């Protein structure tokens, strides 16, 4: 899973770098095209059309300042890579708890504790791991089994929540970087006013534009990551409920088996 995360992050960074390079190239070509129009030359490929979305995004990226916008994009890339890794991990951790309990109960009736252990070993997910740890300590009594199930359930919860603190960190950092870009843009605007000695829209527009674009970029990144973060939390909650319900069912099954 770590390798998947690294590959995703590397591929995303390469894609962003290519987009930045192409955006710089297009900004260089644009003035040349404008000069050819001013000189009266007709470009046969000049067709009036709407600007594509990816082209508009690249233009705004450059206008917002490559420094701060690159940091915001990096927060988005790493945050998404962590979120996708968690979603894949939780998807593979999902287990049909009722079916697993039924298999364990059937194995106990047919082959005893060892057969039930084999069922848990051959089943993926945290619920099967919890069952296996409980069955390992069956000879020590049901009280010990119950405590083991509760303790190992906490361990599995920690494994599922691994990496969420980094996602929440990027959710907080992205808008902070945007606001920092806003402050710097305002400073640039006041510097331009001081240098020109005049308050005019043309003088202030450059700095204000940088300020607004960086703020919007940071907020958008934070909102995207927040959606993924809440989705991951909902999956963890669903798995946790299944774990608790299955743990109670396991104790009931072992109590019934011990009575026989």
Instruction: Let me know: does 127 contact 246? Beta carbons within 8 Å.
Output: yes
Q: Can you say whether the dihedral through the CA atoms of 245, 247, 253, 255 is positive or negative? A: negative
Kindly indicate the confidence band of residue 257, based on its pLDDT and cuts at 50, 70 and 90: confident
Instruction: Let me know: does 216 contact 178? Beta carbons within 8 Å.
Output: yes
pLDDT in tens, 72-111: 889 999 999 999 999 999 998 888 888 998 998 888 888 8
Residue 115 vs residue 3, higher pLDDT = 115
- What is the structure's pLDDT at 69? 78
Distance CA 125, CA 89 (A): 10
**What tokens were used for 166?**
């980094």
Which of 54-63, 82-91, 119-128, 249-258 comes out lowest in average pLDDT?
54-63
Q: Is the pLDDT of residue 36 over 60?
A: no
**What tokens were used for 22?**
């192409």
- What is the structure's pLDDT at 52? 62
pLDDT in tens, 125-168: 899 999 999 888 888 888 888 899 988 988 898 899 988 999 99
pLDDT in tens, 195-241: 766 666 665 665 666 667 788 888 999 999 999 999 999 999 999 99
Give the contacts of 89 (CB within 8 A, at least 6 positions apart). 1, 160
Mean pLDDT of the chain: 76
DSSP annotation of 207: H
**How does DSSP assign 103-144, residue by residue?**
HHHHHHHHHHHHHHHHHHHTS-SHHHHHHHHHHHTGGG-HHH
- What is the structure's pLDDT at 210? 65
Distance CA 161, CA 232 (A): 9
Angle, CA of 242, 249 and 239, to the nearest 5°: 10
- What is the structure's pLDDT at 186? 75
């Amino acid at each position: 899973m770590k390798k998947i995360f690294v590959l995703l992050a590397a591929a995303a960074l390469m894609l962003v770098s290519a987009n930045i390079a192409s955006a710089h190239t297009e900004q260089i070509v644009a003035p040349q095209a404008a000069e050819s129009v001013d000189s009266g030359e007709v470009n046969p490929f000049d067709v009036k059309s709407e600007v594509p979305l990816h082209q508009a995004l690249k233009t705004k990226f450059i206008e917002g300042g490559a420094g701060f916008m690159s940091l915001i994009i990096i927060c988005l890339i790493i945050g998404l890579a962590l979120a996708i890794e968690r979603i894949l991990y939780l998807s593979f951790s999902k287990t049909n708890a009722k079916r697993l309990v039924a298999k364990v109960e059937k194995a106990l009736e047919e082959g005893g504790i060892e057969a039930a252990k084999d069922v848990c070993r051959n089943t993926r997910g945290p619920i099967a791991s919890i069952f296996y740890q409980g069955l390992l300590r069956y000879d020590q009594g049901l009280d010990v089994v119950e405590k083991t199930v509760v303790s190992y359930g906490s361990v599995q919860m920690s494994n599922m929540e691994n990496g969420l603190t980094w996602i929440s960190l990027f959710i907080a950092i992205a808008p902070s970087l945007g606001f920092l870009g806003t402050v710097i843009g305002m400073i640039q605007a006041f510097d331009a006013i001081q240098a020109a000695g005049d308050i005019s829209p043309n003088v202030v527009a450059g700095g204000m534009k940088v300020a607004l674009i960086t703020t919007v970029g940071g907020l958008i990144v934070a909102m995207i990551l927040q959606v993924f973060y809440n989705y991951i939390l909902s999956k963890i909650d669903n798995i946790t409920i299944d774990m608790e319900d299955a743990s109670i069912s396991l104790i009931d099954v072992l109590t019934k088996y011990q009575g026989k």
